[in-house]
Amino acid sequence: MDQLVKELLQGNRRAAARLISNIENDVPEKRALLQEVFPHTGNAYVIGITGAPGSGKSSLVDCLLKKIRRDGLTVGIIAVDPTSPFSGGAILGDRIRMQDHALDEGIFIRSMGTRGSLGGLSRSTREAIQVLDAFGKDIILVETVGVGQSEVDIVKTADTTVVVLTPAGGDSVQTLKAGIMEIADIFVVNKADLSGAERTITEINIMLDMKNETQWRPPVVRTISVQNEGMDELWQELRNHKHFMKESEKLLEVRKERVRRELTEQVEYLVKNKIWEQVREGIEIETLVDRIVHRRLDPYSAAAELLEEIDFL
Ligand SMILES: Nc1nc2c(ncn2[C@@H]2O[C@H](COP(=O)(O)OP(=O)(O)OP(=O)(O)O)[C@@H](O)[C@H]2O)c(=O)[nH]1
Ligand SMILES: [Mg+2]
């Protein structure tokens, strides 16, 4: 077994950090490393926390973190920012947080940005989750800024998803992207000290009434994370949802769906790599590009020709 993986399984933090860096940088031995990590995964419960920039996700995670630790569980935190080119804990706020918790062996915090993650941020996030799972963390909190499709993809890797809204900031419930509403298992209305909180809660409830979900109606929790308020209720609802997921076998369903997606992705990745390897070996791509750009060839025929050449079609 790779030394790094061995150290990870022994609980070495530096090994965990280095493994995640290797994943982000798409090192050639990445697949082999993940293969060794995989048998040791499947024990962590993954909670996704998403919301608009500045809605209070980090403050919320910090409060929640303390509650979870008090219950004796260990926590891994992955702060994903699709808008940031920084990774590896370079996001300033997160670095300060890391110092706060540096002495607690039960906590591991990691930031991930777009830099380095050649295979896509949602993919490297998923792989980082596997590392922290094998590392032995009981709960993994994945914090993502809600800005686009990327965070919806990232959230798909969570067992429970929390959507954080605020009374202020114009993210009134009607203006929210449908995708975000669909993925919420729990709604948090944070900054409930600001005016308009009650209205936001009412709006969410009206929307939930219209959906008329029978199996699990997402609860709406009000929090003031700067005053550590509402955390008992949030942690309780998280445990309720986890219980629901396990009892109803939804957890298995969700995890199967995830594995299906990963398997498809992996197959496509391997096929793509293999094709391009052969293409690069045997074909002058630049010649084709020249011909296309001068309108002597169209890209559709060129692609077909290319695949015929390597006996793929
Ligand atoms: N009034 C009030 N302010 C809050 C509350 N929670 C967080 N804030 C403030 O909101 C600001 C943003 O908080 P963060 O926790 O950094 O928010 P975030 O969602 O992690 O932000 P990004 O990671 O930049 O998207 C900070 O200045 C917090 O102090 C709250 O409950 N009430
Ligand atoms: Mg944050």
User: How confident is the model over 230-264, as pLDDT tens digits?
Assistant: 999 999 999 999 999 999 999 999 999 989 988 99
Distance 139 CA to ligand 1 centre (A): 22
Closest-lying ligand 1 atom to the alpha carbon of residue 194: 1
Q: Does residue 191's CB lie within 6 angstroms of at least one atom of ligand 1?
A: yes
Q: Is the pLDDT at 88 greater than 60, yes or no?
A: no
Residue 84 lies in a domain: yes
Closest-lying ligand 1 atom to the alpha carbon of residue 223: 31
Asked if 45 and 185 count as a contact pair (C-beta separation under 8 A), the reply is: no
Q: How confident is the model at residue 96 (pLDDT cuts 50, 70, 90)?
A: low
At 224-236, the pLDDT tens digits run 999 999 999 999 9
Tally of structural domains, the chain: 2
Q: Whose CA is nearest to atom 12 of ligand 1?
A: 54
Asked if 165 and 190 count as a contact pair (C-beta separation under 8 A), the reply is: yes
* CA 64 to the chain's CA centroid: 18
169/108: higher pLDDT: 108
* CA 275 to the chain's CA centroid: 29
* CA 37 vs CA 40, 138, 140, 157, 184: distances in Å: 6, 16, 16, 17, 29
Residue 31 lies in a domain: no
Distance 124 CA to ligand 1 centre (A): 26
Considering only 90-94, 203-207, 252-256, 296-300, which range has the smallest mean pLDDT?
90-94
Residue 19 lies in a domain: no
Distance 56 CA to ligand 1 centre (A): 3
Based on the fold, state whether residues 296 and 176 are members of the same structural domain: no
Nearest-5° Cα angle at 40, 38 to 42: 85
pLDDT of residue 278: 86
Identify any residues that bridge with 53 across adjacent strands, giving them in sequence order: none
Distance 145 CA to ligand 1 centre (A): 12
Domain of 152, in residue numbers: 42-248
Q: How confident is the model at residue 295 (pLDDT cuts 50, 70, 90)?
A: very high
Asked if 131 and 41 count as a contact pair (C-beta separation under 8 A), the reply is: no
The residue with tokens 């998403």 is 50
Based on the fold, state whether residues 55 and 151 are members of the same structural domain: yes
Residue 180 lies in a domain: yes
Largest CA distance in the chain: 69
Q: Whose CA is nearest to atom 17 of ligand 1?
A: 56
pTM: 0.88
Based on the fold, state whether residues 278 and 241 are members of the same structural domain: no
| CA distance linking residue 56 with residue 271, whole number of Å | 42
| Burial group, residue 9, by CB count within 10 angstroms (0-12, 13-18, 19+) | middle
Q: Does residue 76's CB lie within 6 angstroms of at least one atom of ligand 1?
A: no
Residue 29 lies in a domain: no
Based on the fold, state whether residues 105 and 229 are members of the same structural domain: yes
Residue 136 lies in a domain: yes
Helix (H/G/I), strand (E/B), else coil: 234: helix
Distance 225 CA to ligand 1 centre (A): 8
Instruction: Please report, rounded to a whole number, the percentage of residues in the chain having pLDDT higher than 90.
Output: 53
